[in-house]
């Protein structure tokens, strides 16, 4: 099965564009989990048990696991095993923001796609397609390229104007569409905090899925995001929410409410 088929299938069966960010920062876990032997893994299974019906995808950010060294890495692996056994149809995204030169990327390909078994990974574009080829070659996996990120300072490099008239982030979107997406497995990261830029990227890339961080805690607006980013079949978006759901008292209700809110704004 290709990545695109898995994503489309789960999107239809769940009727959800919601991705829950498993950003399970140890210091922020509820006290009852902090005392356990495998706090991040136990917390994640608790969140997954409550929210799975409302999500198209889960997205752990690897920084929160690496912060605990080998122990964190092991609990991330256990979380993936849990998802694969209980919910094999849910898309799993490694928010790893990797990218090295060609040969070296094989280590990350092995680690993220094969050992941990993620369906997709977030990638920096700076080294170019040639460097990312080991990721791009995997038709069964998704390559989610950072394009316009959600952070306040993302414009420092991404908004620079090229001599062609395009901004750097517009050129990245153009390059991915025209050159990198030969295997139909590329997506773009586009922050919810920049709806005007999202509109432009949607024009450049009418058929690519966007992974959208920045809803909720970072200030992105759901209605504006869906209006700016949906494609002409009312999808093409994976909207991530992390802290707003996983650290809520009732993650099940929060996930369900956000899934429904997103769907209200979809026009198709």
Binding residues for its own copies (CB under 8 A):
23, 25, 61, 63-71, 73-74, 77, 95, 97-102, 104-108, 110-111, 115-116, 124-131, 146, 149-158, 160-163, 165, 168, 171-172, 175, 213
Indicate which residue of 97, 129, 199, 257 is catalytic. 97
Give the closest residue to 95 by CA, choosing from 117, 126, 62.
62
Residue 149 dihedral angles phi and psi, to the nearest 5°: -85, 160
Contact 48, 82 (CB under 8 A): yes
Terminal-residue alpha carbon distance, the chain: 26
Nearer of residues 23 and 42 to its own copies, judged by Cβ: 23
For the chain, what is the radius of gyration of the CA atoms? 18
d(CA 114, CA 246): 27
Least CB distance from residue 63 to its own copies, whole Å? 3
Nearer of residues 100 and 140 to its own copies, judged by Cβ: 100
Nearer of residues 51 and 149 to its own copies, judged by Cβ: 149
* Burial classification of residue 248, based on how many CB atoms lie within 10 Å of its CB (0-12 exposed, 13-18 middle, 19 or more buried): middle
Least CB distance from residue 268 to its own copies, whole Å? 31
Least CB distance from residue 266 to its own copies, whole Å? 27
Task: Name residue 190's beta-bridge partners.
Answer: 148
Least CB distance from residue 91 to its own copies, whole Å? 20
Residue 102 dihedral angles phi and psi, to the nearest 5°: -40, -65
Residue 199: active-site member? no
Nearer of residues 76 and 90 to its own copies, judged by Cβ: 76
Two tokens at 36?
């356990």
- Active-site positions read 97
């Amino acid at each position: 099965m290709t990545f695109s088929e898995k994503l489309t299938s789960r999107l239809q069966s769940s009727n959800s564009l919601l991705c829950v960010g498993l950003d399970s920062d140890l210091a922020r876990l509820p006290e009852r989990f902090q005392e356990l032997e495998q706090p991040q893994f136990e917390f994640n299974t608790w969140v997954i048990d409550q929210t799975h019906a409302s999500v198209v995808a889960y997205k752990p950010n690897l920084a929160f696991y690496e912060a605990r060294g080998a122990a964190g890495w092991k609990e991330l692996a256990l979380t993936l095993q849990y998802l694969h056994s209980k919910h094999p149809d849910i898309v799993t995204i490694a928010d790893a923001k990797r990218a090295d030169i060609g040969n070296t990327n094989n280590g990350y390909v092995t680690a993220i796609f094969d050992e941990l078994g993620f369906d997709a990974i977030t990638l920096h574009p700076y080294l170019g397609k040639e460097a990312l080829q080991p990721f791009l070659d995997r038709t069964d996996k998704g390559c989610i390229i950072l394009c316009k990120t959600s952070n306040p300072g993302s414009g420092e490099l991404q908004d620079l104007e090229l001599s062609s008239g395009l901004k750097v982030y517009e050129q990245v979107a153009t390059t991915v569409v025209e050159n990198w997406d030969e295997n139909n497995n590329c997506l773009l990261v586009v922050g919810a905090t920049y709806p005007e830029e999202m509109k432009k990227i949607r024009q450049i890339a009418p058929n690519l899925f966007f992974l959208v961080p920045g809803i909720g805690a970072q200030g992105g607006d759901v209605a504006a995001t869906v209006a700016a980013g949906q494609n002409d079949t009312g999808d093409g978006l994976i909207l991530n929410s992390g802290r707003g759901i996983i650290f809520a008292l009732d993650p099940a209700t929060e996930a369900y409410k956000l899934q429904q809110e997103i769907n209200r704004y979809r026009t198709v």
